[in-house]
Structure 1
C-alpha cells in the first residue's frame, strides 16, 4: 500500500512538472527581460534571444521601438518609422539585455553589437547635452531634447552604470566607460540648464526642450510647451540619485519638490463611466477624500493645469477635449506622490539636509 502510494505521488509530481501551467515560460520582450534570474542569461534560450536582438540592430547602431526583439526581424518586421530611437525603451533596453547575456558568458557578436550601440548612443548626444528621440536626427520635434516618457533619463541611467563598470557592465573597455561618464556629466548640466524658472524661481521641466535654445517646445499636437507633472519626476529622481550632489543639483531638487508640493490637484478623482452612446469614457468628479493628483501639463506662467486635444486648443478641463484623447492619454496622474512621500525625505537625510 505504501509502495503504491509512493508510486502515485511520483506519477503526480511528474505530471505537475510536465504541466505547461507550471513550466517556466519564455520571458516577453519588455523591461522585465532585464530582471530575470542571473543563471537564465547563460541559457540557450537567452542566447537565442540575444542573436535575435543583434539581428534587429540597425546599420547605424540603434534599435527600434514597439517591436518584439525576442524574435528575428523576418518574424517581427520593423516599421521604418520605428528605427533608431530611444523612445519606448528603444536602444537602451536591448543594450541592457545584451550586457546581461555577455556578463553570463562572453559572446563576440553580442559584445560587438553592444559596443556599436554604446558608440551610437554617445554620438546621439546633442552639443547642449541632451538626447533626441531619434538619431540620426529627423525633422520636427524628434530632434528635441526628449524627457518625454523618461527617454533621456533611461539613457542617463544606462550610461552611468556603464561608466561605473559595475554589475553586468564590467566588460566595457576603459575608454568607453570614460566617454559614458563624460556624457552623463554633460547630461546633468543639460538637465540643470533646462529647468524652467518663473521670475527667477526654479520649477520643473517640459517634456521636451529645444536642443539649441533649451526652451520648452511643442511635440505632438496635444503636447504643448508646458510644465510637466509627469516627466519632471524622473528627472528629479535622477538628480536625487547623484552620490555627491553639487549646490546646483541640490537647488534643482529643492525647486522641483517645492513646485510639486504647491501644484498638487486636490479634491478630485478620475471616474471611469459609460457614456450615453455605450462607449467607455472618463470623468473628473469631486472627492474631498481623494489623494492628490498632478496634471500632465501646466501653463508655463500661471501653473494652471491645461488640456489639449488633437486640435491643439488649450482648455481648462479634461471634459472639454475629445473622448479619444481623454481615454488614450494620461492627463492626470499621481507619480509625484511617492517622490514626495518616500524619495525626498530619504534624499534629504542622505545629503545631510535633515
Structure 2
C-alpha cells in the first residue's frame, strides 16, 4: 500500500511539472525555441490536448503551397486577430520556405501527432508538406531557400544554414520509412528516394573548383549556372567554412559511395585541412559602450577555427559589413555585424572525426 501511495505521489508531481511546461508553451518565444523543442518532445506528449492545440496551430500556419513560413513560434496562444491575419496570409506563396528549419519541423511534428492520435487531418497536412518539398526541387537536384518565390537570392540553391542538407535528411528518413514516417505511401517514398539521389548529384556538381582543384561549397549557388552566388550584402560568393561541413558529413553517410562521391569527400577534407585557422581564438570583452563584444587574439595550444567565408581567389578567410566590402580583420567591420553573425566556427573538427570513422568503414586507411 505504501509503495502504491509513493507511486501516485510521484505521478502527481510529474503531472504538475508537465502542466507547468504546457502553460509556458503558450507564451510567445523565439522560433528557435520551437525548432529545438519540437524534435525533443516525448512520444507521450503527443497524446495530450496541448499537443493537439499546437498541431492545430501548425495546420493554421500551413500555406496553400503545402509549405510553412519561417520564424514562427507555433505553440503560441493566438488572439482572434492573429488567427485572422494568419488565415489572410495563407495564399502568400512568397513565404513558404525550408529556411531556419521551417516546413521540415512542422512535417515531423504533424507526423508524430498523427501516429499518436490517428487523426487524418494531421497526416494529410504532413503529406502536403512532403509534396511541397518534392515540388520545390529543381531539375538539377538543388532546392531554393523559398519556393515558389519568383526572384531574388531566395531562388538560389541554398546550402546556407544547412537548408538543403536538412531537407535531404528528412527525405532519407521518409524513404527509409523511419518513425514517424511509417505511414507515408510507397509512391511518395519512391519519389523521396529519387529526390535525395538528385540532391547528391547536385552536391557533386556544385563543388567549387579553383585552379583545377575541387574544394568545398558556397553557401548558395546560382540555380542556372551552379556558380557560387551572392545572397545578402555581407554574404558574398565564397567558399563556406560553415555550410560545407554538414555537406561532407552527409556524403560520408552514404552507403557504398561511388568513385565520384569518394573523390568529392577526399577533396573537401583536403580543403578543410589547408584552410584551418591556427593560433587564434575569440576573446570576449566589454567595449567602451558597455556592450559585450569580441576580438580575435593569438593563442597557443588552442583548437583550430574555420572562417564562415573564404575568398574564391586566394582562399583567405574574410568578413564583411552590410556594405559588402571584404575585410580581413573582424575589428574592421561594425559592431552590429561583428556580433550579429557567426563568422568563425570549429565544426571542421567534427568533419575530421567523421572522416576517420568513414575511412575505417570504407577501408581507406
Q: Specify the alignment match of 1:111 in structure 2.
A: 123
Q: Specify the alignment match of 1:211 in structure 2.
A: 223
User: Any idea what SS the aligned residue of 1:273 has?
Assistant: strand
Change (3 A) 1:216 1:351: same
Structure 1 contact 307–315 (Cα < 8 Å) conserved:
yes
- Which residue of 56, 65, 73 maps to 2:61? 56
Alpha-carbon distance in 1 for matches of 2:41, 2:324: 42
Note if 1:346 corresponds to 2:357.
Answer: yes
Q: Specify the alignment match of 1:241 in structure 2.
A: 253
Alpha-carbon distance in 1 for matches of 2:14, 2:180: 33
**Unmatched runs of 5 consecutive residues or more in structure 1:** 1-5
Q: CA deviation at 1:245?
A: 1.0
Deviations 1:159-202 (A, max 9, x none): 11111112211100011111111100111000000001122222
Structure 1 contact 16–22 (Cα < 8 Å) conserved:
no
Alignment of 1:1-354 (within 5 A): 17=13, 25-26=21-22, 29-71=34-76, 74=80, 75=82, 83-340=95-352, 342-354=353-365
Alpha-carbon distance in 2 for matches of 1:62, 1:137: 12
Alpha-carbon distance in 2 for matches of 1:141, 1:118: 23
State the superposition RMSD in angstroms: 2.6
- Please report the TM-score for the alignment, with normalisation by the length of structure 2: 0.88
Structure 2 contact 136–147 (Cα < 8 Å) conserved:
yes
- Please report the TM-score for the alignment, with normalisation by the length of structure 1: 0.91
Structure 2 contact 95–149 (Cα < 8 Å) conserved:
no
Alpha-carbon distance in 2 for matches of 1:30, 1:182: 27
Structure 1 contact 66–82 (Cα < 8 Å) conserved:
no
Count residues with an aligned counterpart. 348
Change (3 A) 1:15 1:181: closer
User: Any idea what SS the aligned residue of 1:217 has?
Assistant: coil
User: Any idea what SS the aligned residue of 2:294 has?
Assistant: strand
Alpha-carbon distance in 2 for matches of 1:14, 1:317: 56
Q: Specify the alignment match of 2:28 in structure 1.
A: none
User: Any idea what SS the aligned residue of 2:295 has?
Assistant: strand
Alpha-carbon distance in 2 for matches of 1:81, 1:265: 42
Q: CA deviation at 1:21?
A: 5.8
Q: CA deviation at 1:30?
A: 2.1
Change (3 A) 1:149 1:81: farther
Alpha-carbon distance in 2 for matches of 1:115, 1:23: 31
Q: Specify the alignment match of 1:3 in structure 2.
A: none
Alpha-carbon distance in 2 for matches of 1:258, 1:193: 18
**Unmatched runs of 5 consecutive residues or more in structure 2:** 26-32
Q: CA deviation at 1:104?
A: 2.5
Structure 1 contact 194–214 (Cα < 8 Å) conserved:
yes
Change (3 A) 1:81 1:127: closer
Change (3 A) 1:192 1:162: same
